[in-house]
Chains A and B, each alone.
Chain A
Amino acid sequence: MKKEDELDRNLEALRLERAPQPAADQESAELLALALAVRRLRSADSVPVPAAPALRAVSGRRRYWLAAGTALVAAAVVFLLVIAVRPVDVVHAAQERLTALTTYHTVGHFQGFSIDPQNGEKRHHEWRMEIWYDRGKYRIQIDEDLLIFDGDTEWHVLTEQRRVTQIPGLPQGRMQMSTVDDLVKWFTEYPHVVEGEERFNGRPAFRVAVQLRSDVTQYVWLDKRSFLPVGGRSVNKEGEETSWTEQMEVNVPIDPVLFTYQPPEGFTVDVLGRR
């Protein structure tokens, strides 16, 4: 193949962001490298940045972090699934209900288990989470710590460490709690079955089992009359309870002050997302 053709083929690969073919000789390799250097003259700002993917697990410690993170996010998802799941004509009924969803308040308890990478011992962790949500804004309290999104900025507050992380301009819904579309999507993507009727906290309810993941089953209780969710419980494949609901309210007034935050004096404030 002529060198001109080889270069042209590799320029086309560069343009289409495909891997170039192996260079036939030194000159071809250098010309391709130079073409790449020239292409870098384009402004990086013109390149759309994809959403950050989930972090990969690469070590024992990382897996531990991710397990904890997964549990945290799952806590929010669990509640949303609770809202979404309905025993009859599920999708249609859920869509109707979700369209009317504006606020919620829930208190849940979560526990998890991890393997200590140092000695292989099983550790137990437990925490309480309270969520207030109002049309895209949210306040999540995990024991003494807080995550607050006021519609523009997210605040992460580590009370014991007296540290605050401020993330300006965070896209709404990063916690995947703000849009009805997401809820419907979750609902339609998880298999579920109505297992029967029983009393939950003294109220007649339907019990629904949702297969959240292959190793986690989420049980949801829906009030028999209103079909509003009244409770939830999740169990792992070992049969260990990983979460349970203490309180759940939907479409209730929430004090807007809960979505505001002012760092207390003496707290260190880190601002992320800025060069």
Chain B
Amino acid sequence: MSRLERIRRRALLEAWYQGNWPDLYRYVYHHVQNREEAEDLAQEAFSRTLAHHADGELPTRQYLYATAMNLIRDRWRRRRRSGVALPLEEALLGQKPDDEAMQVWIRELLDQLPQEYRVVLELRIIQGYSRTETAQRLDKSESAVRSLQYRALQLLRAKLSQGEVDGR
């Protein structure tokens, strides 16, 4: 390798990094739903991918995304060790490699919920309204929203478990 080879290749590497950053960030954000965490994990995924790649070769997207996914799983495992048990989280991710299918399935189950359950989850979780805002929109008390969202998620969980038993 010539003495300038690394300098030249760095330019290509930088282009690869800049070009892949937005999609990888969105991918990680989709899983963790936290901007700070997504940036941190995406950056770490790039670093690890590049650290384990031969000089002059651009890593594949598959390798990059697999590295990111492993980092996400590692983080969940660390949380579990620190007391935050998320078994369903790993189940949702690990046993359903086709994430798009999982999305469709969750959407289908959501649509099967009674309307007020569906609406409260839509407002509170998907659209991201606060409890107070959600209560105003539903014309209910905050206490009622608290109870409603809890029962809605319980029912969704039951439907999800039933679907797994049914072999979905």
Contact = CB atoms under 8 A, between A and B. Distances in A.
Interface residues of A, number: 72
B149 A8 contact: yes
Contacts of A64: 6
Interface string B30-52: 11011111010001101110110
B88 interface: yes
B66 interface: no
B60 interface: no
A22 B80 CA distance: 9
Interface residues of B, number: 72
Contact of B125 (A5, A39, A124): A39
Nearest to A143: B4
Interface in A119-159: 123-127, 142-143, 145, 147, 154, 156, 158
B77 interface: no
B10 A38 contact: no
Interface string A8-30: 10011011011110110010011
Contacts of A17: 33-37
A142 B7 contact: yes
Interface in A84-100: none
Interface of B: 2-4, 6-23, 25-27, 29-31, 33-37, 39, 43-44, 46-48, 50-51, 55, 82-89, 92, 102-103, 106-107, 110, 121, 124-126, 128-131, 146-147, 149-150, 153-154, 156-157, 160
Given A17-B34, A55-B46, A127-B7, 11 more contacts: A14-B33, A30-B157, A50-B35, A56-B44, A56-B47, A68-B7, A145-B8, A147-B11, A167-B15, A167-B18, A273-B18
Interface of A: 3-5, 7-8, 11-12, 14-15, 17-20, 22-23, 26, 29-42, 44-45, 47, 49-50, 52-53, 55-59, 61-62, 64-65, 68-69, 71-72, 123-127, 142-143, 145, 147, 154, 156, 158, 160-161, 163, 165, 167, 170, 174, 272-273, 275
